[in-house]
Amino acid sequence: MPFVYFIFIPMLAAILIPFLYKKVRSIHTGWFVLVVPVVLFGLYTTFVPKLQNGDTYTSSFDWIPSLDISFISYIDGLSLLFSLLITGIGALVVLYSIFYLDKTREQLHNFYVYLLLFMTAMLGVVQSDHLISLYFFWELTSISSFLLIGYWYKRDRSRFGALKSMMITVFGGLMMLGGFILLSIMGDTYSIRELIAQAPELANHKWFIWSLILVLLGAFTKSAQFPFYIWLPDAMEAPTPVSAYLHSATMVKAGLYLVARFTPLYASSEWWIWLVTGTGLLTLFWGSFFALKQTDLKGILAFSTVSQLGLIMSLLGAGAISFHTGVEDNSIFKYAAFAAIFHLVNHATFKGSLFMIAGIVDHETGTRDIRKLGGLMSIMPVTFTIALIGSFSMAGLPPFNGFLSKEMFLSGMLSIQNFDLFAFATWGILFPIIGWIASVFTFVYSLYFVFRTFTGKYKPDLLPKKAHEAPIGMLIPPAILGTLVIAIFFVPNLIGDYLVKPAVMAMQPFLYTSPSEIDIHISAWHGFFEPELLMTLGIIGLGLLLYWTLPKWQPLYTKFPDWLSLNRLYDSLMYFSEVGTNRLSRIYMTGYMRSYLVYMFTGIVILTISTVFIKDAFDVSFAMLAPIRFYELIIVLVLLAGTITILLANSRLTAIIALGAVGYSIALFFVIFNAPDLALTQLVIETVSVALFLLVFYHLPKLNRHENRLKFRLGNALVAFGVGATVTIVALSAHSQKLVPSISSYYEETVYSKAGGGNIVNVILVDYRGFDTLFEIAVLAIASIGIIGMIKLRLTKKKEVNRIEDK
Amino acid sequence: MMIFFWIVLFLISLSMLGFIYRLIMGPSIPDRVVALDSLGVALICMIGMISILSESSFFLEIILLIAILAFIGTVAFSKFLEKGEIIQRDNNLS
């Protein structure tokens, strides 16, 4: 089976889940689901040795071949690394969720369908080589994440969090689609590999920067970078397995994947380097700083995820510098790319385990509020051990894997100041300083997370449940991750050689021909008096000091004005877009027919007049006009008198009579312009309509019967004058320039010889163009049936009220 | 001879203007209705003149039609002014 079909295995499994859930109630549905990620993980593991020579594999099937759209699965180091993360952590999360979610109380079929859908979407994102299918899977991750966050849909906070994440990530996704479309136009291909191959030509294209910014917007919103991180803390309303899976290990890394994937394409631009590095560093600092404000365990973890994602993002930006020649020793920037990927793996391991720990604490004590927790160390020893491993790794302490990547991060940031292109030499000094301060805060909140929960005094009266150790099944997944955290520290080069180097190779394809050429050896020991060691010692020292004095300065966080926060900005943005558009539409949607008529007529006048003048179509020539006869003049005067009477009439009856006079004088026009059939019809119709007007006049309700003179309104007069002038101008211009002769001579010649009639008007009506007559008969029929319906069909008032209420 | 018809046409037009004056200025509704009726008669004359001048017989039906319509219209207005409605409802049916 071609491996492109692997992507769709979870989706196919998702179809079966509801049936299994209904039929097999005795077994937890999760056990069936567990098979899928485990099998996929095994399948993807077989690719690991194959990629060691720098080979890549593609497999595809056509979706819309005529539009050149297909699903292409492209496996290189980067996509394999992500696929392994998705399936591996997916398997652990499913195992964890079997013990976390109760099979009698929860709607498991919903949960696992969404989760499997998400797995397909995520595998699709990381393996797609086609821009459009990449976007397709990208939106599928947004939608399935929306469903998962709103899993407990009866809670307000869940729905709010789901909506917020949906709004922000879909905004970014649409921006990204724009960037992709620009890219496909620039490169005339949808394939990412082919685009990367023509990167140097694309860099000079005028849309290059636009597509860069749009693609980055997509990556930043998905990966919760500043200022789009605000959806992530609110997404913590999801069940904990979802938080562990989506919001630490996989979905939030889709943006990082995107940045890594497009690095070879965009890295030549200074915009890319500055934006990616700068935003990453800002996010790193911001997230770590505000993590200490949180009192909810998952809130701390959410901010720490934001901050770690920023760290990886800034390393990806620094890694992009290695594309620039003319840098004396750019090996250090290759090192940054390596560090980014390495930390990405490390973060997935320790953050996944920490989220599971938070879930266990919540599950076994009933609360996640850090102020109510404490002293759980002796009650939950296993949980505490795993939490300690995860937190110390997050803080960057030996002997855990976070230490290795933190050292690499510091060396990467230190070397940025040596890079003297794009003004990095002047501003570069800021990078290690901000990175270092953020690391101090990271250290503090890691300690805060683990020691506030597990040490101190046990407060049983504050806890909703009596605390006890979690079941063994729940502890297995975080224990596996915790073991990995330690294992990676001791044998980092195993994972470095087999996973990280092929991924770096995919990010920097111009620099190497095979992953074995990357001569980076991870070492825990840099030697005495290296700046990294001193900085780490500084972090530990200052971090411990800050942690001990935490009760003194933590209240300062509440001093930050709430209205300055980005959440408030989002809320007011949503509020104003709703209320503002409401107000805007109330201004012009007055509900009065007269307003809409004014809009329409003004529009007609402006559009027509401007078209006539822009196209220079205004042309009046009197050459084609017939001479005016004096009785025509008199009828015109009669017509005018009648019209003016209608306008100035004191009573409605006068207006109706004057209207009749106008109609009759028009009939007279038909007479003098030789149209006897028209004149006949006009006379009858005019009489009937005057009679109808009188009928309606009598039935007008008494209250509305204002017999006052029509009020003079300047605006209406202007509009009316404009419409009249427009029609006159158009009629004059149209009459002055006739392009083709009339076809009426054909009718004159054939009215008797072909149609066998003498009255040319009637022959046209029923013979040459009988179709029009048919449907005008239909119009009359509809009108009369409608009148009968309106008169006869009287619904009682009660029913009408009901109908209005139903609407 | 044609000059004669032209003069007649001119005079009819003048009389129409007079009727129009009454139609607009008429102090009461019946004045206006009568003016409208007379306008119809003037119209008949005018169309007759035009038929002669344009030497066609196609407009003679129109003359008949206007005569009928003017009558019906005047009767309808009169009934409206007198009874307040044109078509009275049959009390036996309702």
pLDDT grade, residue B94 (50/70/90)?
very low
Q: Which residue in the set A657, A680, A695 is minimally distant from B32, CB to CB?
A: A657
Cβ pair B32:A654 closer than 8 A:
yes
Segment A388-394 shows an average pLDDT of 90
A345 with A403: CB under 8 angstroms? no
The pTM for the full model equals 0.81
**Is A172's pLDDT higher than 90?**
yes
Residue A17: Cβ-neighbour burial (10 angstroms; 0-12, 13-18, 19+): buried
**Is B53's pLDDT higher than 80?**
yes
Nearest to A9 by CA among A56, A49, A42, A50: A42
Note the pLDDT of residue B49: 87
Q: Specify the 3-state DSSP secondary structure of A525.
A: coil
**Is A702's pLDDT higher than 60?**
no
**Sign of the torsion angle spanned by Cα atoms A661, A666, A669, A670:** negative
Segment B63-70 shows an average pLDDT of 87
Note the pLDDT of residue A137: 94
pLDDT grade, residue A265 (50/70/90)?
confident
User: Count of CB contacts below 8 A, A vs B?
Assistant: 81
Query: Could you give the count of Cα atoms lying within 13 Å of A548 in the half-sphere of its Cβ?
Result: 5
SS in 3 state form for A106-131? CCHHHHHHHHHHHHHHHHHHHHECEH
pLDDT grade, residue A776 (50/70/90)?
very high
pLDDT grade, residue A703 (50/70/90)?
very low
Whole-number average pLDDT of chain A: 85
Q: Is B24 on the interface with A (CB under 8 A)?
A: yes
**Is A171's pLDDT higher than 90?**
yes
Note the pLDDT of residue A181: 93
Comparing A235-244, A356-365, A398-407, the range with the smallest average pLDDT is A398-407
Compute the distance between CA of residue A248 and CA of residue A350 in angstroms, rounded to an integer.
9
**Is A412's pLDDT higher than 60?**
yes
Cβ pair A634:B23 closer than 8 A:
no
Segment A768-773 shows an average pLDDT of 92
Compute the distance between CA of residue B15 and CA of residue B21 in angstroms, rounded to an integer.
10
Tokens of A525: 């020991």
Segment A553-574 shows an average pLDDT of 78
User: Per-residue pLDDT tens for A318-341?
Assistant: 888 777 755 555 566 777 888 888
Q: Is B67 on the interface with A (CB under 8 A)?
A: no
Segment A388-416 shows an average pLDDT of 84
Instruction: Please count the residues of chain B.
Output: 94
- ipTM, 2 dp: 0.76
Note the pLDDT of residue A518: 67
Segment A269-285 shows an average pLDDT of 88
- Roughly how many angstroms between the first and final C-alpha of chain A, as a whole number? 54
Query: Could you give the count of Cα atoms lying within 13 Å of A319 in the half-sphere of its Cβ?
Result: 33
Compute the distance between CA of residue A174 and CA of residue A181 in angstroms, rounded to an integer.
11
User: Per-residue pLDDT tens for A569-579?
Assistant: 888 888 899 99
Compute the distance between CA of residue A481 and CA of residue A354 in angstroms, rounded to an integer.
9
Cβ pair B84:A698 closer than 8 A:
yes
Compute the distance between CA of residue A192 and CA of residue A50 in angstroms, rounded to an integer.
22
CA A216 from chain centre, in angstroms, equals 13
A346 with A485: CB under 8 angstroms? yes
- Best B21, B32, B78 member to test A by mutation, with max A CBs in 10 Å, is B32
Q: What is the dihedral of CA A484, A485, A486, A492, to 10 degrees?
A: 80
Identify which has the larger pLDDT, A73 or A631.
A73
Hunting for tokens 């300062």 — which residue is that?
A556
Cβ pair B62:A680 closer than 8 A:
yes
Nearest-Cα distance to chain A for B73, in Å, is 7
SS in 3 state form for A271-284? HHHHHHHHHHHHHH
Note the pLDDT of residue A175: 94
Instruction: Give the residue numbers in A contacting B (CB under 8 Å), as ranges.
Output: 630-631, 634, 637-638, 641-642, 645, 653-654, 657-658, 660-661, 664, 667-668, 671-672, 674, 676, 679-680, 683-684, 687, 690-691, 694-695, 698
Identify which has the larger pLDDT, A776 or A2.
A776
Note the pLDDT of residue A705: 44
**Is A424's pLDDT higher than 90?**
no
Cβ pair B65:A680 closer than 8 A:
yes
Residue-wise DSSP of A567-608: HHHHHHHHHHHHHHHHHHHHHH--S-HHHHHHHHHHHHHHHH
A116 with A10: CB under 8 angstroms? yes
Q: Is B46 on the interface with A (CB under 8 A)?
A: yes
Nearest-Cα distance to chain B for A590, in Å, is 36
**Is A179's pLDDT higher than 90?**
yes
The CA–CA distances, whole Å, from A504 to A122, A327, A349 equal 20, 19, 19
